Structure 1
């Protein structure tokens, strides 16, 4: 069974991923949390946790015994540029570099649609620039990776159907449930290996959409 570190475990998407992985026969989730006050929810789920802060410290200790990483941490588009840079850019780069040193097998990054063209989205430009920088750092890191550039996240019930492409023709929304499944399915090798793609809700079942995308 592979151990999967969830960076951003206390966020809405991170919690969904942990709930799913906690019932998996193949993967065991490990929640990365910023302070011990956040541990209760994971202890109640009988999920292992580890303390780590993207903004402050050396992160090598959080990767001990870890096979793969799912990064869902984010400051959010409403956060100021300084905080966004610390978490979405510098924090992401820090854990990517630590993952490379730890010889992590695969790094799954939750990014955002628009990260390829930040200047076209003035209100979110600082956020998308940070995401773009982190994405590019991951692509050049030498790690096996998948970057999922999701549309606007909603709390709607996931329908398990999506539209995926390296570049979609229009923006859209996607339930967090479906994003969680996309990120989890990206753990499988060689599915969407070393690929960056955009994702919104659609008509194709997640599994077949990912297989078709992998085939090109």
Structure 2
């Protein structure tokens, strides 16, 4: 069975994804920064690898993995320097390592306005620019990709219902972190997610149905 490397496994989306993968009996390796984080994720059933995105990434993290999920982030309380090092440069290094190890799918948890930073939220323009160029690097790498661009993240319970169409009002451009984790899981399990870019918002369709509909709409 495929093994998936989750980068950013100790983050809010990453932890929930690890839990979902453990329940589904999917082999998973969690990349974290320290032993304490590793212990917590091992209790969920994950294999762990200690590594720092601000340093060179170890071959051992990728060597036995067929898929990679990048859901790491510098967080809203850090400066632009950390955003560049983690959200951009860390992602670029991860994509390059995935290419080196012939990974069959790279799932990038990106951001709603990564496709058009110029017209995104001014206060986080630097973040959207970093996400834009991380996505661009993945698209140009030749690695099979899935790019997910969630709206404003919330901590409510999972709904299991989403839309990939951007709502008309900014107030509706939200999605729970739990639903994003479930969307990542869906992407890992179904081929229709390969080489696709989808925005994610809470909506009215079951996740699997929303993904299939998005592909159908793209095909016309």
Give me the TM-score of the superposition, normalised by structure 2: 0.92
CA contact (8 A) 1:76 1:127 kept: no
Give me the TM-score of the superposition, normalised by structure 1: 0.94
The Cα shift of 1:59 comes to 3.1
Is the alpha carbon distance of 1:168 and 1:191 closer, same or farther for their aligned partners in structure 2, counting shifts above 3 Å?
Answer: farther
RMSD across aligned C-alpha pairs, in angstroms?
1.4
The Cα shift of 1:44 comes to 1.9
Looking at structure 2, the residues matched to 47 and 159 of structure 1 have their Cα atoms a distance apart, in angstroms, of 25
- Structure number with the higher helix fraction is 2
CA contact (8 A) 2:162 2:207 kept: yes
The Cα shift of 1:189 comes to 4.1
- What residue is the counterpart of 1:147 in the other structure? 147
- What residue is the counterpart of 1:130 in the other structure? 130
CA-to-aligned-CA distance 1:2-43 (integer Å, 9 cap, x gap): 111110000110000000000114x21111011222122022
Q: Which runs of 5+ in 1 are unaligned?
A: none
CA contact (8 A) 1:89 1:133 kept: yes
Map of 1:24-35 to 2, 5 A cutoff? 24-25=24-25, 27-35=26-34
CA-to-aligned-CA distance 1:165-209 (integer Å, 9 cap, x gap): 3x6655411011110011111113422211111111111111100
- What residue is the counterpart of 2:74 in the other structure? 75
Q: Which runs of 5+ in 2 are unaligned?
A: none
Map of 1:1-216 to 2, 5 A cutoff? 1-25=1-25, 27-120=26-119, 121-165=121-165, 169-171=168-170, 172-215=173-216, 216=218
Looking at structure 1, the residues matched to 78 and 129 of structure 2 have their Cα atoms a distance apart, in angstroms, of 13
Looking at structure 1, the residues matched to 190 and 51 of structure 2 have their Cα atoms a distance apart, in angstroms, of 27
Looking at structure 1, the residues matched to 8 and 67 of structure 2 have their Cα atoms a distance apart, in angstroms, of 14
